[in-house]
Structure 1
Amino acid sequence: MATPIIVPSDTTGAGADPIRRTAWRAVLLTSLVVMMAGMVRLAFSPVQEAAKLELGLTDYEISLIQGIAAALPLAVIAIPLGWLTDHSKRTRIMLVLGLCWTVGMIWTAFATNFETLFLARMLAGLGTMSLVPVAISVLSDLSAPQQRGRAMLFLGMGNTLGPALAFVLGGVLFTAFAADLSLPGVSLSPWREASLVFGVASAVTLLLLVLIREPERHEVENASNSLKAVVQALLKRWKFLLPLFVGQISVIMADAAAGVWAVPVMQRDLGLSIGQAGGILGGILLVAGVLGPVMAGFIADFGHKSSIRGGILIGAVIASAIGVPTALFPIVSTVPAFTAVLFVLLLAGSMTGLITATAIAVLVPNEERGICLGAFMILGALIGLGLSPVLVTLGSKALGGESHLAMALAIVGVVVGLISLAGFALAMLNAPVKAKA
């Protein structure tokens, strides 16, 4: 058994830099677990059309499975989970969440109707979408404030590379299982076998968690465990946090809608196969998942060092502005142009996510981050992830039916893009004058 990584408690001693020498390995391992969670979170998306056909589902039912299924339970546990993140062993929380999404992914492969598939994706989403705030709290204590943007870029890369690999591998696995490949001792339809592979891979990846030990907490302003005191402290920052949440949740809405419906649009309107559509979206997410966090990490650190109030968010303002016109990607009629415009949209989205996480990690005291992120999880789940796929299907219905999916997706994307731009701009104007160090 490998020796667990020991995170040093003293990061300020003279001479050697213990954070760079040891804790960066823990950052990388945590990011790998986050990447696996991202894969499981969207592993159903590339094969959802095949599942829809086999189980006789509608677009509306798919939107409930892809959105509300994970949003509702996450909204219930978000605040308690945030409090536990601030006051208990975070690595243990990560392991429990990992077990949830692994069981949910394996259950997905054996779902027989809408109800069982809904419950399976609910369990998978509960685990995967709850992980990132816990991981942000861990990484905040694995890195010095002046290096936090660069540390967070690894988490951002994992969180975006995971979905990218979900589409690439999902498309490849589905194509292979639809041809002549089959799992030993298993006789399932191609989309089910692909789901099972993701579930087994997730179980193996969870072994990485035993290599990470709980880091010591730093930058604690108030040692009180009172939930009321923490909430009151956050409310004092509402002029900054509320528009920040609005900005990032609106970006989540655009990205979530694209993640759920881009592949069906490519299949229905551009005539691509599951493998082709999944490969294109996966490739886009793969490049954006590397480039976006790298750019955002350095931009966030540069902005934070500037004399501009809220400078850490300047990259998010620019990226959200770019996201408004690129939200029109669903109505682009050629595959190359569709791919290019969607790439820019998702690149901008990956940048704002990393910058928002860094802003919270730098501008919010340690003992308030978990609750802050918990509140963000509730709004992000219910509105960002839960509502946007449903809004698209309701929009297509209002326009005349499922054949109008592309136009509905474009309209939702542009509207939430404008809202995100306004939110980030206000958050920047109301950011704390001095960061908490």
Structure 2
Amino acid sequence: MYPPQRRSEGISLVLMGSLLGAVLSPLIVALAERLAVEVGQSPLAVAWFLVPLCVIPAFVLTALVRPDPKQIALRLQEYYPHLPAGGPAHAAVGAGSSTPRKIAVWAGVAAQGQMVMLMAMTSLALHQQGCSFNLISLSVTLHVLGMFAFSWPVGRLTDRAGRKPVMLGGLLLSALGALLVGFTHEYLTITLGTFLVGLGWCGTYNGATTVVADTTAPGERGRAVGVLDVWSNGAGAVLPILAGFLVEGVGIWAIGLAGVLLLIYPAVMVSRLAEVSPGRYEG
């Protein structure tokens, strides 16, 4: 619903909502550990029973959204009167827009799949090292902070410097984080690695989603973003399963290497993206 010059900033504001979950998660884990003693159940099981209580406000807030963001996107001129007559609502959409969109989908899918794979295996690795649930929860919290705490400045940077450099920087940070997770054995360095993976995901996925929005008209934007999300979450479901077999057969270092290899091809594709200015592309 934002104009092109503020589109990534708008997307980043949505992502920042996840910060609440990052702040609440250690508190939920601590509460679950106390309640587990009272009810005689596993702290992990109790924590999952507490999660639905945190989802209820999301339903209420979603129901209160007025007007529908799609209607704003269809009538940008009414909500952003400073835009030129005719508005640039579709200015970035052209015949060659499918190529940038395909590149963005590749980058987003790789970043999402790599991030979920590393997080699933990192928690297991920390548990095997004897870390407490609170330390594991803290590590995950720092990872989530990397994903969402900097969404707003990353979004502003994406709108000013361009989608391409932010996506490339995100892929680089994700690769560095994967190396720290896979090839180091200290809690602090592994946690730093998970933070960098989250921060890299923030840049890559923010940029990828914005490119998809740039290259689609309002009437088809929801479907296009849905394609990105389906493939990305599909990768996030499949890769952790494959990583489990990889860790069992080879070792934890293998997912660090896999986390880097997954990003090479998308990085090459993004490097070839012809972005003439933020949000505008050549075929």
Structure 2 CA distance, aligned partners of 1:266 and 1:146?
Answer: 42
1:366 and 2:218 are equivalent in the alignment: yes
Of residues 152, 157, 182, the one that matches 1:294 is 152
Structure 2 CA distance, aligned partners of 1:326 and 1:300?
Answer: 21
Q: Which residue of 1 aligns with 2:242?
A: 391
Q: CA RMSD in A?
A: 2.8
Offset at 1:430? 6.7
Q: Which residue of 2 aligns with 1:239?
A: 99
**C-alpha distance 211-174 of structure 1, shift in aligned 2 (>3 A):** same
Q: What's the TM-score, normalizing by structure 2?
A: 0.80
1:152 and 2:11 are equivalent in the alignment: yes
Where in structure 1 are there 5+ consecutive unaligned residues? 1-139, 221-232, 304-310
**C-alpha distance 202-244 of structure 1, shift in aligned 2 (>3 A):** same
Structure 1 CA distance, aligned partners of 2:25 and 2:263?
Answer: 24
Offset at 1:433? 9.4
CA contact (8 A) 1:312 1:359 kept: yes
Offset at 1:332? 1.1
Q: Which residue of 2 aligns with 1:250?
A: 110
**C-alpha distance 418-170 of structure 1, shift in aligned 2 (>3 A):** farther
Q: Which residue of 2 aligns with 1:268?
A: 128
1:209 and 2:62 are equivalent in the alignment: yes
Q: What's the TM-score, normalizing by structure 1?
A: 0.54
Q: Which residue of 2 aligns with 1:347?
A: 199
Structure 1 CA distance, aligned partners of 2:233 and 2:140?
Answer: 22
Where in structure 2 are there 5+ consecutive unaligned residues? 76-92
**C-alpha distance 167-266 of structure 1, shift in aligned 2 (>3 A):** farther
Offset at 1:188? 4.6
Structure 2 CA distance, aligned partners of 1:244 and 1:397?
Answer: 32
**C-alpha distance 431-378 of structure 1, shift in aligned 2 (>3 A):** farther
Offset at 1:431? 7.6
1:193 and 2:46 are equivalent in the alignment: yes
Structure 2 CA distance, aligned partners of 1:375 and 1:268?
Answer: 36
Offset at 1:170? 4.5
Structure 2 CA distance, aligned partners of 1:146 and 1:238?
Answer: 20
Of residues 420, 426, 434, the one that matches 2:266 is 420
What's the secondary structure of 1:272's corresponding residue? coil
Offset at 1:268? 0.7
| Aligned length, in residue pairs | 261
Structure 2 CA distance, aligned partners of 1:200 and 1:243?
Answer: 38
Query: Sequence identity of aligned pairs in percent?
Result: 15
Q: Which residue of 2 aligns with 1:409?
A: 255
